[in-house]
Chains A and B, each alone.
Chain A
Amino acid sequence: MSNVTLKVNGETHTIDVDPSTPLLYVLRNDLGLRGPRFGCGLGQCGACTVLVDGAAIRSCVTPTSGVDGEITTLEGLSADGELHAVQQAWIDEQVPQCGYCQNGQIMTAIALLDRNPNPTDAELRQGMNGVICRCMTYYRIQAAVRRAAEAMAGDRSGSGDAGREVNL
């Protein structure tokens, strides 16, 4: 065991743990987080996804010592009591059934839209393809990603009027 320092959802934690421990177990069992979940432990399903500096990674196959950056989990997405636009779209589209996979779907969608704010249908499907839902909510997930992309584009153009004028 040794001390590992992690920055998670804006807070810094020092944990006494075997540094090879997959990040998933540290987040769940040492830090008490619920967003990332165990689905396969093999990097195949996405249920354990967290963001590290905005990129979606699979915490079940990431050694805790290998994390270099700030971790955001599902519970760390909302700011000032406001849900992330992707979370809001998930509620508006009433996406989850059991909900077990939805952490991975939401985190992956956020990272996708961050890289590609306006994905084509093919890009959306490919970008989300590695995250499995066994309740088969794919149809609604895709609708929610499109809705979130629109909402985020609206936000950007709404708050960025001044900047846009400069660009014109």
Chain B
Amino acid sequence: MHSTEIPKAIEDALETCHGTTSRRDFLKSSGVFVLSLSGARMANTGGSGSGAGSQAPVTPTAAPYLDPDFRLLDSWLAVHEDDTVTFYVGKTDGGQGTGTAFRQMMCDELDIAFEQATLIMGRTDMTVDQGGSGGSDALERDAWAARRVAAEARRVLLEMASERFGVPVDGLAVSEGVISIQRDSSRKVTYGELVGGRRFNVTLTGRNINATTGVAGVKPVQDLKLVGRSLPRYDIPAKVDGSLEWAVDVRLPDMVHARNVRPPVAGARLIGIDESSIRNIPGFIRVVSRGNYVAVVCEREEKAIEAARLLEVEWEKPTTAPFPSSEDLFRYMRSATPMSLTRATGSRTVPLARVEGNPDEALRTAATVVEAEYDFPFQGHTAIGPAHGLADPSDGQMTIYSNDMKPYSLRTGVAEFLDMPREQVRVIWMHGPQLYGRTAADDAGFEAAFLAKEIGRPVRVQWMRHEETAWDTKGPAFAFTLRGGLDGEGNLVALDYRARVADYAHVGYNQPDTVLIAQLMGIRPSRPSPGRASAPAEMYAIPNRRQETLVVRFPLAFETPLRTGNLRDPNGPQTTFAGESFIDEMAAAANADPVEFRLRLLRGSTEDNETFMRARSIAVVEAAAEAYGWDTRPSPKSANSGRILTGRGIAYAYRGRTAVAEIAEVEVDRETGRVWVKRMVCAHDCGLVINPDGLRSTIQGNLLHGLSRALHEEVQFDTEKVKSVDWLTHPTLRHVDAPETIDIVFVNGDPEPDRPDLPPYGAGEPSIRPVAAAVANAIYDATGVRIRRAPFRAERVLAALEASGA
């Protein structure tokens, strides 16, 4: 039995992936910072061998794995003798630069140079439990505690220096981890000399981790030096030169490979397995099955793949079709009896109708009434790399190497699932393929742990492409009906929004009763939890309105490839597609310019408590129109002719406290129906920007992700299985589809100019929200044809053009 100590090679790799690129790489990739370092410090800052991992105050190598105590300063950071600092944060980084942003903020508060720090993320035995990632809340919520503890460390270090020099703290100056006496700058001491290699032993307060604080306050924004700068992301060089070790790359002594065998149709029951069908495969170890969960384990990976393909399994089909076909989906959803109109649906809430004014009466008396139906299908994550987990069961403990965005709930969930004490389980987060909600239900992590316990050796499991595309968690399908009423002057006086969502049993965060392996084993939550369906978030002043969302279910709620989970901005793209397309329809009915119509709605009222959000909404809509060079006129564009039709459309949304307005410029090929979004403009207000280029990168990816969902992505299924299972049957945005130009405007702010203390708000998700609507509105502008069903695939657009004679 090998030891539970993490192999040295992986320890080194963790250090790389968590924060240090080697000194050499750093100098190569970001020469600008070399200037800020003294030669002496450069010499002893060390390369990847000077260990964040190895010098951490506590580096657990064997169980029990205790929870780092967030009320101890030493749980958050360690100062080393060589003046480097390791930060420990309970977040993960899906490639949007969360780690770099945290490092910038914490370095600023501690007053050290960016390259003096490394950052360890998402390792349950070493980093405090900040819940991992999700909800675009890293900078909006979790960074505050991290900033405060860094500020507290600075305060304590200044106290130590004050004592050493016999000079009061306000007679000291600090820069890049060196404290000097203001009146005699030759007398100085470094952080490393004060506390390097030792513990602070300082207690923090706060009723929960988000409230963690010391005595010191954070700096005012004006005093921040690194925040607001486009520092290069520290994780990029190792992702480009091949040196980064990812979770999928970890190889342990004695490790074996597993692959799953899924039911051929949803809801099938396992009748029997003929193990002799694969027993002659070299290195075959075992078939493991429980309930309807089946996996094969082999010494070599390619043999496990072969064994999973060849294993003969007898299944019994369910007697009732588990769901309607995708062709029949929206008819089914509209005619189904909705689940419940009350809030009593498990721990989550199903919003009741929200009614303001008297929408029915206002619609009855309106001068013009428009009614329209919109449909948005199921969409998958279809991550580029299928789900993966590696679990090491040695010495009675369990270590899981994973890219799970929520490693803490994976740890707790696995412990419960395997009936192990929590202290015997840990999760080590490492980089992996994109998360976006997929790895918050880390099916493969649970599977690896289960199989490792069964086999008694480290087990690595990775899903196959067809398995991932068919069985990953899905963003729910929506069917909408909207009615709007205009008065005689073209003002929107009534809006009736009714949505139905197929989101009955929403998968939770690594819950041991909702992950796929648990479902297949027959484990059920006490009550299904519908997703938190939300209506479009905008700040329009409309006197009479109704917003209602009803949940519908299919015959099969569990063990289904249509299980819903969080997919980047879980309901935003769907509901905003309907809401903002329909606002455009109302603008057209009023013969009004789409920007002006929206601004009129945003300016319609000041007598409510949403003034702040409304003012910022107006600011992003105006900024987008200005950046685009918007020509004021109603849609559709007149006198559009030729094979390629061009047009522009706007959409806007709020998410949390972030406001976004986007304009898409499209080319529609009248002969093929292909839509190319040639240019995107995004005006974005998420408050304080920590790293402008990192934010731009996140927004660019988000916009294109939105385009992919608007133009290509759709889960297709017959009445028993998903049929879109690879990159041919499940198209995605590709290089040819990328816009020629993306213009991003940071509005940052502000109804009241010069308000530097506006805090950072979430930015990982908001900008995906308006994309589909902006594109649909642009297609309408170009062609006069309204596409009310996503995605706008060429054949669908062509059919709509032909039907309208456009």
Using CB atoms and an 8 Å cutoff, list the residues of chain A in contact with chain B. 1, 18, 21-22, 25, 28-29, 32-35, 37-42, 44-45, 47, 73-75, 77-78, 81, 83, 87, 90-91, 94-103, 106, 121, 124-126, 128-129, 131-142
Contact = CB atoms under 8 A, between A and B. Distances in A.
Contacts of A25: 300-302
Given A75-B242, A141-B735, A40 B727 contact: yes
B194 to A, nearest CB: 35
B736 A139 contact: no
B734 A138 contact: yes
Nearest to A47: B384
A90 B242 contact: no
B164 interface: no
- Minimum-distance CB pairs A-B, first 9: A97-B95, A136-B704, A75-B242, A99-B239, A98-B95, A74-B242, A138-B738, A44-B727, A40-B465
A1 B281 CA distance: 12
Given A28-B301, A45-B384, 11 more contacts: A21-B302, A38-B462, A42-B727, A75-B242, A83-B28, A98-B431, A100-B432, A128-B735, A135-B384, A136-B733, A140-B697
B700 A96 contact: no
Main secondary structure on chain A at its contact with chain B? loop
B241 interface: yes
Interface stretch (B229-237, B406-414, B486-494, B531-539): B229-237
Contacts of B248: 37-38
B736 A34 contact: no
Contacts of A90: 236, 240
Nearest to B28: A83
A94 B233 contact: yes
Nearest to B707: A136
Contacts of B382: 134
A25 B462 CA distance: 13
7 contacts: A34-B244, A91-B237, A99-B95, A100-B385, A125-B738, A129-B735, A136-B705
B197 interface: no
A1 B740 CA distance: 50
Contacts of A42: 465, 726-727
Nearest to A108: B735
Nearest to B237: A91
Interface string B681-712: 00000000000011001101111110110000
A28 B735 CA distance: 27
B94 A125 contact: no
A86 B80 CA distance: 36
A97 B433 CA distance: 9
A37 B465 CA distance: 13
A139 B300 contact: no
Interface string B663-677: 000000000000000
Contacts of B300: 25, 29
Nearest to A124: B735
Contacts of A33: 242
B465 A139 contact: no
A38 B467 CA distance: 14
A124 B434 CA distance: 25
Given A98-B95, A135-B434, A78 B241 contact: yes
Nearest to B30: A91
B282 interface: yes
Contact of A34 (B96, B237, B245, B694): B245
Contacts of B384: 39, 45, 47, 98, 100-101, 132-135
B742 interface: yes
Contact of A98 (B237, B282, B432): B432
Contacts of B739: 139
A18 B740 CA distance: 46
A40 to B, nearest CB: 4
A28 B237 CA distance: 20
Given A25-B301, A96-B236, A100-B384, A132 B241 contact: no
A18 B236 CA distance: 36
B368 interface: no
Contact of A129 (B704, B707, B736): B736
B386 interface: yes
A121 B740 CA distance: 9
Nearest to B462: A38
Contact of B726 (A35, A44, A95, A96): A44
A87 B385 contact: no
B529 to A, nearest CB: 27
A124 B384 CA distance: 21
Contacts of A29: 251, 300-301
A41 B246 CA distance: 19
Nearest to B13: A34
Given A91-B237, A98-B431, A132-B732, A45 B727 contact: yes
B385 A38 contact: yes
Interface in B50-80: none
Interface in B107-121: none
Contacts of A126: 735-736
Given A41-B465, A91-B29, A136-B701, A35 B431 contact: no
A44 B728 contact: yes
B562 interface: no
A33 B243 CA distance: 9
Contacts of A103: 242
Interface in B144-175: none
Contacts of A133: 384
Interface in B586-606: none
Contacts of B700: 136-137, 139-140
A165 B29 CA distance: 34
Given A34-B246, A37-B248, A41-B464, A96 B385 contact: no
Contacts of B187: none
B448 to A, nearest CB: 15
Contact of A138 (B28, B302, B704): B704
Contacts of A136: 700-705, 707-708, 733
A19 B726 CA distance: 26
Given A73-B242, A83-B28, A135-B701, A97 B386 contact: no
Contacts of B735: 124-126, 128-129, 131, 138, 141-142
Contacts of B373: none
A154 B233 CA distance: 27
B38 to A, nearest CB: 24
A141 B702 CA distance: 15
A132 to B, nearest CB: 6
Contacts of B243: 34, 75
A88 B175 CA distance: 32
Given A37-B385, A132-B727, A136-B705, A94 B236 contact: yes
Nearest to B738: A138
B305 interface: yes
Contacts of B245: 34
B8 interface: no
Contacts of A140: 697, 700
A83 B241 contact: yes
B204 interface: no
Contacts of A91: 29, 232, 236-237, 240
B249 A34 contact: yes
A114 B383 CA distance: 30
Interface string B628-671: 00000000000000000000000000000000000000000000
B24 interface: yes
